[in-house]
Amino acid sequence: MKTTLKTDITVKDICEGFVYNELEGKGLFGLSGQLTIQPEYQRNYIYADGKKDVAVIESILKGYLLGLIYFVKVSDNQFEVLDGQQRITSFGRFVTNKFAVKDENGMEQYFSGIAADKQSGILETKLTIYECEGTESEIKQWFRTINIAGIPLNNQELLNAIFSGPFVTLGKEEFSNSQNSNIQKWSAYVSGSANRQEFLECALDWVSKGNISDYMSRHRFDTNITELKIYFNSVIEWVSGVFKDVESEMRGLEWGRLYEAYHKEAYDPAKVSVEVQNLIGDSYVKNRKGIFEFILGGSVDTKLLDVRVFDDATKKSVYATQTAKAETKGESNCPLCALGHDANKNKIWKLAEMDADHVSAWSKGGATEAKNCQMLCKTHNRAKGNR
Ligand SMILES: [Zn+2]
């Protein structure tokens, strides 16, 4: 990749013809139309939080370096920003009065309201820019390996860059657009933010059964995202149909996997709802996120709930009582071994060789307290199963 250093381009030059699209959250063009600020493979503008954008302006006002900016030369006099789009969009938005910064008296000031010398100080700031020329794959390889100043690209943002094309564009239009009215509904089941491509990532993860990059590569030049949309919506419709109440624990679960495993089963949403409420209110359930899969699987696999176990003090005292009784009777301190006919019939196990068991199973209402605890040898405890 060939690079040329430019140190004479100013903020004013870049802001010549600056366009910001509020709807897409993107800085679009600058440098009198010669510069595309956020090409298709770039993420949306994420500095508009009143902190990172303000920090960019404060750096300029204090005369600090803004860091290196990289342009890709697309053709003669046409460039795309490879790295620096967040910073450029920040000063472009400031200069076009899209947000204010506090002055020395703590007053919010828009660009048009600050002193003329400060205005020209900002506009005349020179930037350090590398213009790069290389093949698409060279540029993307580079993009993948550098650690972008500020917030590093996440996985999906990188994949969008690597597999840029019509499919990514359409995918972002549907899943990365925070103006999409479905985002709120989806947020009940999907965690993360649309801006950071996490909804798109989730949709791709579900449809591809976890093989996102393979899926993106195969569909890179598709001009529709029909399969992706239909699959994602099927999963969402299914979850919201089975589980009528939206619980915060549902967010970010592997709904794609659960859909594959259980969508052909029949559930009674009213019964499911009662069961969800009971389990959420059950103080023995340590893993509430496991409640939904537990119910989908027929409410048998209590491992998913991580039911609270007996503490060491309880185990020790139950062990002591049980062993003392067994020794007087001359039988094993594992009640199940004592019932048997083999060599373990009279065996006294050590504490470390035994595990605590719910006499009356937790799933049938048995409590996790001393009077419902018995010690079993490890073999018998395992055989009895984790109920
Ligand atoms: Zn035993």
pLDDT above 80 for 86: yes
Instruction: Using the mean position of ligand 1's atoms as its centre, give its distance from the Cα of residue 354 in Å.
Output: 8
pLDDT grade, residue 2 (50/70/90)?
A: confident
Q: Residues of the chain with pLDDT > 90: what percent?
A: 56
Instruction: Using the mean position of ligand 1's atoms as its centre, give its distance from the Cα of residue 99 in Å.
Output: 72
pTM for the whole thing?
A: 0.61
Instruction: Using the mean position of ligand 1's atoms as its centre, give its distance from the Cα of residue 357 in Å.
Output: 12
pLDDT digits (tens, 9 = 90+) for 47-56: 888 889 999 9
Q: What share of the chain is helix, strand, coil (3-state, %, to 5)?
A: 50, 15, 40
pLDDT digits (tens, 9 = 90+) for 157-210: 878 877 878 999 999 999 998 888 899 999 999 999 888 899 999 999 999 999
- For tokens 């381009």, name the residue: 9
pLDDT grade, residue 143 (50/70/90)?
A: low
Lowest mean pLDDT among 42-46, 244-248, 380-384: 42-46
Q: E strand or H helix at 72, and its extent?
A: strand 69-75
pLDDT digits (tens, 9 = 90+) for 214-240: 899 899 999 999 999 999 999 999 999
Rounded to the nearest 10°, the torsion over CA 376, 381, 383, 387 is 130
| Total H helices, total E strands in the chain | 17, 11
Instruction: Using the mean position of ligand 1's atoms as its centre, give its distance from the Cα of residue 20 in Å.
Output: 73
Q: Report the mean per-residue pLDDT for the chain.
A: 89
Q: Residues of the chain with pLDDT > 70: what percent?
A: 95
Instruction: Using the mean position of ligand 1's atoms as its centre, give its distance from the Cα of residue 349 in Å.
Output: 9
Q: How far apart are CA 189 and CA 208, in angstroms?
A: 18
- For tokens 């001009």, name the residue: 223
Closest CA to 170 of 227, 252, 104: 227
Contact by Cβ (8 Å): 363, 291: no
Query: Which residues crowd ion ligand 1, with CB under 5 Å?
Result: 334, 336-337, 377, 380
Arithmetic mean of pLDDT, 313-318:
94
Q: Which residue has the higher pLDDT, 148 or 114?
A: 114
Distance of CA 382 to the CA centre of its chain: 36
Q: What is the pLDDT of residue 151?
A: 58
